């Protein structure tokens, strides 16, 4: 039986997975704290690309604004 991984000081339970970092669009000073109360749209790959098309239509119809991206 394998033993659980030993965590170094300051390491989180999800060892091996880095948290995503928000990167604002170049030249803007967007504050990630203003995300509170808003929707985060994350399109995903699926059969027939239905998820991507649905996300694109939602973004176009709701007039969403791109403020940055998530970096892993």
What confidence tens digit (pLDDT) does each residue in 6-28 have? 655 655 565 567 788 888 888 87
Residue-level pLDDT at 58: 84
Q: How sure is the predictor about 3, in pLDDT bands with cuts at 50, 70 and 90?
A: low
40 in a structural domain: yes
Q: Is the distance from CB of 71 to CB of 21 less than 8 angstroms?
A: yes
35 in a structural domain: yes
Top pLDDT among 32 and 60 is at 60
Distance, in Å, from the CA atom of 50 to the CA atom of 47, rounded to the nearest integer, reads 7
Q: Is the distance from CB of 35 to CB of 70 less than 8 angstroms?
A: no
Residue-level pLDDT at 7: 58
20 in a structural domain: no
4 in a structural domain: no
9 in a structural domain: no
What is this structure's pTM?
0.45
Whole domain around residue 62: which residue ranges? 25-71
Number of domains in the chain: 1
């Amino acid at each position: 039986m394998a033993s659980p991984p030993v965590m170094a000081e300051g390491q989180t339970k999800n060892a091996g997975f880095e948290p995503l970092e928000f990167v604002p669009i170049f030249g803007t000073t967007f504050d990630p704290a203003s995300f509170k109360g808003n929707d985060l749209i994350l399109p995903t790959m699926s059969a027939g690309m239905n998820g991507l098309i649905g996300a694109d239509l939602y973004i176009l119809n709701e007039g969403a604004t791109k403020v940055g991206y998530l970096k892993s």
